[in-house]
Structure 1
């Protein structure tokens, strides 16, 4: 088997395609959550704690001098990233929890036993007749 055919077989497996779709959707979901945090959640939180814009929060280590930019620790961006992660992790947790509950419900509902075959019915009738004698 040539390497191209082997790669084609690998790439066309259901799990690989599902994983690729998951990664693409996950990336898009991450962008949505980042925008939600930066544009919807953080402004009210900033107002609640005194009108602070989290994206601009930083500790200046060395002031700017001439053409050299200031050296800063941008902890505001870090706080936003932590909130992004928390929201994404919670959303994934809820999705997995929902899938697990559906899986449990499916496992808990027992399937009806199959109807007895004609042979079993005949043997049962014979047994019952023998017990009557």
Structure 2
């Protein structure tokens, strides 16, 4: 029973997932610090407030409807997404493209050269499938 548990825990995908979750949590605090301490003060300088919580409030039959809180959450989401894209995704894509060029790998939008033998066999196969051939 314990051996099965040990085998399960030591599988590569379980360990990889655990590492990814821990690094993701640590990276989340870095992105939140960037958004809260760099981007939001910049927006506060432009708009006059670091959040939109007070922006749209309505009293509806004694219940407070706070549309501004939702707006703040949407803006925070967009800022976090933009920070991840511009700080992580774009540089990583450029590094991968540089590595691929250095290794001589074709770009994704380029077609890899086709082996002439495969092209000939494909033509023969397509000709044999054609019901109108004589």
* TM-score bin (small chain): 0.5 to 0.7
Task: Name the residue aligned to 2:39.
Answer: 41
Bigger Rg, structure 1 or 2: 1
Partners of 1:80 and 1:64 lie apart in 2 by: 30
Partners of 2:49 and 2:74 lie apart in 1 by: 15
Deviations 1:94-123 (A, max 9, x none): 3642563365256439xxxxxxxxxxxxxx
Q: Please say if residues 46 and 54 of structure 1, whose CA atoms lie closer than 8 Å, have aligned partners that are also in contact.
A: yes
Task: Name the residue aligned to 1:17.
Answer: 15
Unaligned runs of 5+ in 2: 106-134
Mapping of 1:91-106 within 5 angstroms?
A: 91-94=87-90, 96-97=92-93, 100-101=96-97, 104=100
Give 1:42 deviation, angstroms. Answer: 1.1
Distance 1:57-1:20 versus aligned 2 partners, 3 A rule: farther
Give 1:13 deviation, angstroms. Answer: 1.9
Task: Name the residue aligned to 1:85.
Answer: 81
Give 1:29 deviation, angstroms. Answer: 0.8
Distance 1:26-1:41 versus aligned 2 partners, 3 A rule: same
Unaligned runs of 5+ in 1: 110-133
